[in-house]
Amino acid sequence: MDKTGIVGWGSYVPRFRIKIEEIARIWGRDALPILEGLGVDEKAIAGSDEDTITMSVEAGRTAILRAGINPVKISALFIGSESHPYAVNPSSTVVSEALGFSSAFGNTFKEKTIFMGDLEFACKAGSAGMQICHAFVKSNEIEYGMAIGADTAQGKPGDALEYTAGSGAAAFILGKDPVAELEGTYSFGTDTSDFWRNEGKKYPNHGARFTGEPAYFKHVTNATKGLMEKLSLGIDDFDKVVFHTPNAKFPLRAAKILGFDASKLKEGLVVPKIGNTYSGASLIGLASVLDSAKPGERILVTSYGSGSGSDSFSFMITNKILQAQKLGKKTIDYINNKKYVDYGTYVKLRGKLLRE
Amino acid sequence: MLSVPVFWRMNKEKYKMIGKKCLDCGLVIFPNRKNCPSCDSQKLEEFGLSGKGKIYSDTIIRVAPDGFEAPYITALIKLEEGPMIVGEITGVDIEDVEKNPQGLVDKEVSITFRKIMLNENGLRVYGLKFLLE
């Protein structure tokens, strides 16, 4: 059987940053224990003309460039996000049209099947999109499918979440003859409400410490163990590891629980410099790893979405990745291109300051 | 304020730089026209532009029309393939542009997908803006 997996990838991180110290200053908090507790220095903020749709298009463009395919061959698009710009009106139709899935040239609309959907499963909706696209490709229903995880994450002013809720996106094209073969995937989920946002509400609520043991750690470790058991793999079989990053401490602790050396998380651990990009988080981590991965390396990715569930993946890097790595902007390029803003500019950019 | 159908009709041109090329004289045309502005030929075929160009002139808009948020930078951009178009420049700091008497003239730019405006009914209008290379 033909190998299936990732044929192209791309990430996008907006250029605005706010330092954790600046947020702590406004709320009269001592920054040091917050910095030490979260392991996050600063977070990325989308500009006033950016949102989940625009970031998805930018990440998707890089993914198409690296895949080296005509976008009309892409017949599925699933975008996972907690911050789709509209409550009703899909993100996926705009992104599909902007990326040229219907037609490479705009005015000759080519009738074709495009499976589309906007997904929501807290921070793991993007990885769920990867599973759907992979299943479509494996069953020969489509040649290529794109999955995107993107968020302009919001935290209530002064809440613990505000220190980490960041903005960013990552896109992956699934198909045959991949740069990273998807060897297997495993999901684990239970009814564990640790973080939620009600219809019509601007900001989420959360169960504070409850988001740890019974939520994040239970689901991340169970999904990862399930995957390793399914594929008969052990911790030593993986060269690089990516776990969802609500902060920098949780993934390192999950690694310790499972027995992974912390050094295996290094390349995917971008959270200290961009914050928690929610649906984008584990996927931007994976994109960062792919930016410099070597053929023969095996990569473990486990996402986490509150509510709660985790999707775990095993990828084997192929020789094809070397050519693709030469194309497009890398995640580190976006991370290094930054402009710091103060809290006032931040609340304006993120629409926290309303004039009516 | 433009209506919803007007935005919809412009989607194709706003999302991708797809113009026309005259089969008679070779002129690249953007935005689209039915006749070639050079030789008046109607033999035009679709042509994908690179989205790259150079700023010819720029200005800072401080009083914005409804749905737009001032200040922002509007520029005349000479595209690689020839056409000169009006576009918004994003990803630059207004205060940096103000400091330079030359503004952004001769800077190389490429397209990026952004939110252009919000109409009075809350419809988000997306399209292409330009980033400095």
**Within a domain: residue A310?**
yes
What does CATH list as the number for B4-132? 2.40.50.840
Residue pointed to by tokens 């059987």: A1
Any A CB within 8 A of B114 CB = yes
Instruction: Report the C-alpha dihedral over residues B17, B21, B26, B29, rounded to 10 degrees.
Output: -60
Per-residue pLDDT at A108 exceeds 60: no
Q: Is A166 left (phi over 0), alpha (psi -120 to 50) or beta?
A: beta
A244: annotated active-site residue: yes
A133: annotated active-site residue: no
Q: What is the pLDDT of residue B5?
A: 85
Q: What residue segments make up the domains of chain B, in order of their start? A: 4-132
Per-residue pLDDT at A141 exceeds 50: yes
Provide the residue range defining the domain that includes A80. Answer: 4-349
ipTM of this complex: 0.93
Separation between Cα atoms, residue B94 and residue B71, nearest integer Å: 8
Residues of B in contact with A106 (CB under 8 A): 12-13, 15-16, 18, 46
Cross-strand pairs, A165? A276
**Within a domain: residue A355?**
no
Separation between Cα atoms, residue A332 and residue A267, nearest integer Å: 10
Residues A5-37: pLDDT tens digits? 999 999 999 999 999 999 999 999 999 999 999
Per-residue pLDDT at A104 exceeds 80: no
Q: Mutation target for B interface from A49, A51, A94, A354: give the one with most B CBs within 10 A.
A: A49
Per-residue pLDDT at B18 exceeds 90: no
Q: What is the pLDDT of residue A161?
A: 93
Cβ of B46 and A105 within 8 Å? yes
**Which 3-state string (H, E, C) describes chain B?**
CCCHHHHHHHHHHHHCCEEEEECCCCCEECCCCCCCCCCCCCCEEEEECCCEEEEEEEEEECCCCCCCCCCEEEEEEEECCCCEEEEEECCCCHHHHHHCCCCCCCCEEEEEEEEEEECCCCCEEEEEEEEEC
CATH number, position A118: 3.40.47.10
How many domains would you assign to chain A? 1
Residues A148-169: pLDDT tens digits? 999 999 899 999 999 999 999 9
